[in-house]
Amino acid sequence: MGRIYINAIRVINNIKTFGWRNTCAKLKKYLHLGSNYVDYNKWMHSHRLTDSERQEQCGRHFEYHPKFSILVPLYESNCDFLRALIESVQAQTYGNWELCFSDGGRKEKCLYDFLQVYMQKDQRIHYIASQDGTLGIAENTNQAYTLAMGDYIVFGDHDDLFEPDALYACVESLNAKRVQVIYTDEDKVDETGDYFFAPNFKPDFNIDLLRCNNYICHMFVAEKNLVDQVGLLNPAFDGAQDYDFIFRCTEQADGICHIPKILYHWRAHAASTAEDPTAKRYAFEAGKRAIEAHLARQGLAAEVVDGAAPGYYQVSYLVRGEPLVSIVIPNKDHVDDLKKCIDAIEQRSTYRNYEIIIVENNSVQQETFAYYESLVENPHIQVLYWQEEFNYSKINNFGVAHTKGKYILLLNNDTELISPDFITQMLGYCQRKDVGIVGARLYFEDGTIQHAGVIVGIGGIAGHAFSAMDEQAGIYQLRTSVACDYSAVTAACLMISRETFDAVGGLDPEFQVAFNDVDFCLKVRKLGKLVVYVPQAKLYHYESKSRGKEDTVKKQKRFHSEMQLFQSRWVDILATGDPYYNMNLVLDAFDFSVRK
């Protein structure tokens, strides 16, 4: 009955937060009605340590064997949950740890008697209680820190669970490369402690995603020297004290490692934030302030507003000045699409300092040239003529060579703006020194997702995240609605500074049609620049109406040639996996579902 109750609560909370349509989509997956369905609970149990793996790990000796201090604030904790937490720590296959409890509850609810039994049997378990009344979560955790003697600090909640190889995985990673911050994947576990759900398979460090959602959360590990450098948890951010702390640590860390493995289970019960995201509303306001404080420390002027759901935020960077943006639009006939694209910009764009460069490529319809004639008097628009065969890379490079702007916006002729401020939103991100390319959220005509970032490896080469999916029916971790870093974005709507465009030599003409934008983005990534997907910039993309499909032998031969070129050029990322994806997710679908 307990699981039925908690599942009913889960459905009600999901309806309140995300609506009926999203809830029905999740129920469909839960009831095994989807073709790609993976029973995650079974998946998790099948991926836990076997007895032989446990014995092997327990017997392994590392050259570097740091001590981990696990900080756990207590507040009138449930003893059953607390017992399970302690046992999950004692089950660690790496034994150099200490468990530091701080009791910030009322004296009459003191947990000393309960914990004394464990402390007498295991000297690695320590306890301290508040002498000055109850403590907030930050103060309570800071008090636990006074007990810490380890090399690395691990943060845990009093009702959560660690996988037996959680610390082992950290030590193994540290012996491969010493870093100051580690985080892992996580999921949720019900009151029984045996039913796992809602996995969060995270990307490698993703600063723009972190600025929109505390995707790191659990398990978070920081070197003690770093903690001493950045300071302890700040009570001013109680409710989002971990969010603020993660920002301060990642700002200063010498190395950040993500371990793509579920090593932490966040307990979901009726009173927990894990189960009901609205259980601590004050935490979301604190989260917003944590983002604002981080941005201020980084010298970034931005506006932070609430996002698509509690715990999610939207960050818009303020544009410096009003630089000229050069919009390059290749075109062949389909004048109705082109006119719709240009009219939307001319009539509805809130950013006005732009020029439009149309690159004409072998149109044959008289209506097209008549439309060009009608644009002659428009001071914003220039028509160039590309006389050679279609080559997307060459055409765009040709267009860019004739622009005057400091920033370039590559735009397909079959797009239509939805957000009047899409140029402003993209430009604000593009002006950041750490950003090389900015992409947009694109929709098919029916309102489903056409583009929300590109994952390298999907389909063998690369594919659009969440392609053809309905946002109202549920998207993994609400990823289409938050800004985040990707390895690539589509050139159907792509902004880049002229300086960065020139630094990589523009698009590679060897990619005549396919993969030119992905190759372009990866070249920019090699400069150390970020490629950012910005969801506030929304447009329709009616996709490839002008060019058509790969439906001839010649086109198919060219496509396979470009595919082979990409595979030979980007061997490493195809072999090791896209750092902004996760090795536990499928490569044959676009929905971020769990790999079987």
Per-residue pLDDT tens digits for 444-485: 999 999 999 999 999 999 999 999 999 998 999 999 999 999
Q: Is the pLDDT of residue 27 over 70?
A: no
Residue 589 lies in a domain: no
Residue with tokens 């991926």, as numbered in its chain: 47
**pLDDT higher than 80, residue 1:** no
Compute the mean pLDDT over every residue in the chain, rounded to the nearest whole number: 92
**C-alpha to C-alpha distances, 199 to 130, 194, 265, 582, 594, nearest whole angstrom:** 35, 14, 9, 12, 9
Q: DSSP for 136-152?
A: -HHHHHHHHHTT--SSE
Asked whether residue 581 is domain-assigned, the answer is no
Contact 219, 186 (CB under 8 A): yes
Q: Where are the beta strands (DSSP E) in 190-337?
A: 196-200, 220-223, 256-267, 302-306, 313-317, 325-331
What's phi and psi for 174, nearest 5 deg? -70, -30
The span from the CA of 213 to the CA of 187, in Å, is: 16
Which 3 state secondary structure label does DSSP give 327? Answer: strand
Q: Are 280 and 395 in a shared domain?
A: no
Domain count, the chain: 3
Residues 6+ apart with CB under 8 A from 188: 196, 197, 198, 265, 266, 267, 268, 274, 275
Give the pLDDT of residue 65: 97
What distance in Å separates the CA atoms of residue 504 and residue 486, rounded to the nearest whole number? 18
105 and 142 part of one domain: yes
Task: Give yes or no: residues 31 and 59 share one domain.
Answer: no
Q: Which of 14-23, 132-141, 521-530 has the lowest mean pLDDT?
A: 14-23
pLDDT at 391: 96
The pLDDT of residue 573: 97
pLDDT of residue 545: 39
Average pLDDT over residues 501-516: 97
Determine, yes or no, domain membership for 313: no
CA dist list (Å): 418 to 202, 330, 341, 442, 450: 30, 20, 11, 9, 14
Contacts of 415 (CB under 8 A, 6+ apart): 341, 442, 492, 493, 539, 540, 541, 542
508, 57 in Cβ contact below 8 A?
Answer: no
The CA distance from 118 to 126, in Å, is 9
> Same domain, yes or no, for 494 and 409?
yes
Residues 346, 266, single domain; the answer is no
Q: Does residue 588 belong to any structural domain of this protein?
A: no
Strands 97-103 and 68-74: parallel
565 class by beta-carbon count within 10 Å (0-12 exposed, 13-18 middle, 19+ buried): middle
Instruction: Evaluate whether 547 touches 559 at the Cβ level (below 8 Å).
Output: no
Residues pairing with 97 in the sheet:
68
Mean pLDDT, residues 228-256 taken together: 98
The pTM is what? 0.92
Residue numbers of the domain that contains 461: 325-576
In a domain, residue 596? The reply is no
Tell me, what's the pLDDT at 260? 98
Is 244 found in the same domain as 101? yes
Judgement on whether residues 57 and 120 belong to the same structural domain of the protein: yes
Compare 63 and 550 and report the one with higher pLDDT. 63
18 and 54 assigned to the same domain: no
Roughly what angle, to the nearest 10 degrees, separates helices 241-252 and 281-297?
A: 20
The pLDDT tens digits of the residues spanning 522-575 come to 999 999 999 999 999 999 999 753 445 556 888 889 999 999 999 999 999 999
In a domain, 309, yes or no: no
The amino acid present at 404, given as its one-letter code, is K
341 plus 266 within the same structural domain: no
CATH number for the domain spanning 347: value is 3.90.550.10
Question: Would you say residue 373 has pLDDT above 70?
Answer: yes
Give every CB contact of residue 38 below 8 A, 6+ residues apart in sequence: 593, 594, 595, 596
Return d(Cα 435, Cα 330) in angstroms, integer. 25
Residues 500 and 436 in one domain: yes
> Looking at the structure, do residues 52 and 30 belong to the same domain, yes or no?
no
Whose CA is closest to 581, among 515, 533, 537? 533
User: Do 15 and 69 fall within a single domain?
Assistant: no
Cα separation, 416 vs 411, whole angstroms: 10
